[in-house]
Amino acid sequence: MIKTEHLSKRYGALTAVDDVSFEVRPGEVLGFLGPNGAGKTTTMRMLTGYIAPSSGRASIYGHDVETDPIAARSCIGYLPEGAPAYGEMTARAFLDFIADLRGLRGAVRRARLDTVIQRLELGPVLQQSIDTLSKGFRCRVGLAQAIVHDPAVLILDEPTDGLDPNQKHEVRTLINEISRDKIIVISTHILEEVDAVCTRAMVIARGRIVVDDTPAGLAARSRYHNAVSLQLEHREQLAAARDALSELLDVATVEVDERAGKLTAFPANGAAILEPISDRLAQAGIYVTALRVEPGRLDEVFRTLTSEGAGKGAVVAPTSPSEGGIAGEGPEAPGSPSGSPLPSGERGRG
């Protein structure tokens, strides 16, 4: 189990993460959802022991990330944003390096390497240097190093950012396949990712948790939840359709999109309005090509929850635990990829 208690991170007068408390249990896929600068990456870096919290504590399966860091990290597979790696290494050499760091030996080592290479289809690029790989293959190598030791906890920071639709589908399929008995935490600002892989969604804004719900519960907060959208066959019937639907007692309001020839009817007090709308349209002789009940629109919920002052004064964690500045301002260890998942004693290697 992951557990955080009043976790905070401050840089002088700026607060990146503000009194965050939550638990995640096996089988859950938690999506950290928030705008850039909301505190998602900073929270993940504290969970992985990459930076220390200013106050509060975090533990991984009972191991405190500050007082028992090696045991905590042994439970974690971490893919930082951008899938950083040693670019001069071949994909094979990098995975061998990570397997050594993770203490894999003998038959277990060979089996785990073979499994991740096959599952992520890395065979054709194993002998290429990582610098020469496409973004999709670099992401696959990053995922491979995160799961090579079969961790109980997987922490992924923007795992599909910049990937094409096919690559995104492959990553999401992998996450769904391995999520049954693991804890998976995904940071994202891609709303479709929440529906695709997450069992739970936590919206973070200005360093604080503003909502912790299921994806369906999050969608239910939308003003579009249970609204009915329809596409007219004949646009000249827009005014007549709007008037006809406005007469229904259970319809609170009707919005018209004249360019698209669409209407959206919003229910009064959560009423079910699909059937009365269908009946009323038939009575009025108004023809539609599409008619559907809206589950809710996550983009609208996201904007509502994060818009007020979102991002003002927000920072992310520095790239080095010893630096007190904003990310990107402090120096890195020689030879270290930015955001490296390696233990602090290994960041200068490679």
What is residue 189's predicted lDDT score, i.e. its pLDDT?
80
Residue range 151-188, pLDDT digits in tens: 999 999 988 887 888 888 888 988 998 888 899 999 98
DSSP code per residue over 200-246: EEEEEETTEEEEEE-HHHHHTTSTTTT-EEEEESSGGGHHHHHHHHH
Residue matched to tokens 């905070």: 8
Q: Using alpha carbons only, how large is the chain's radius of gyration in Å? A: 24
Q: Encode pLDDT of 88-100 as tens digits.
A: 999 999 999 999 9
Residues in CB range of 87: below 8 A, 6 or more apart: 129, 130, 131, 337
Pairing of strands 2-11, 14-24: antiparallel
Residues of the chain with pLDDT under 70: 308-350
> Which amino acid makes up residue 57?
R
Burial of 89 (0-12, 13-18, 19+ CB in 10 A): middle
- Alpha-carbon torsion 165, 133, 198, 192, what sign? negative
Give the per-residue pLDDT at 201: 94
Ordered alpha helix ranges (H), the chain? 40-47, 69-74, 91-101, 106-119, 135-147, 165-178, 191-197, 215-219, 238-246, 274-284, 298-306
pLDDT of 222 reads 93
pTM above 0.75, yes or no: yes
Handedness of CA 138, 37, 3, 9 (dihedral sign): positive
- The torsion region of residue 162 among left (phi > 0), alpha (psi -120 to 50) and beta comes to left
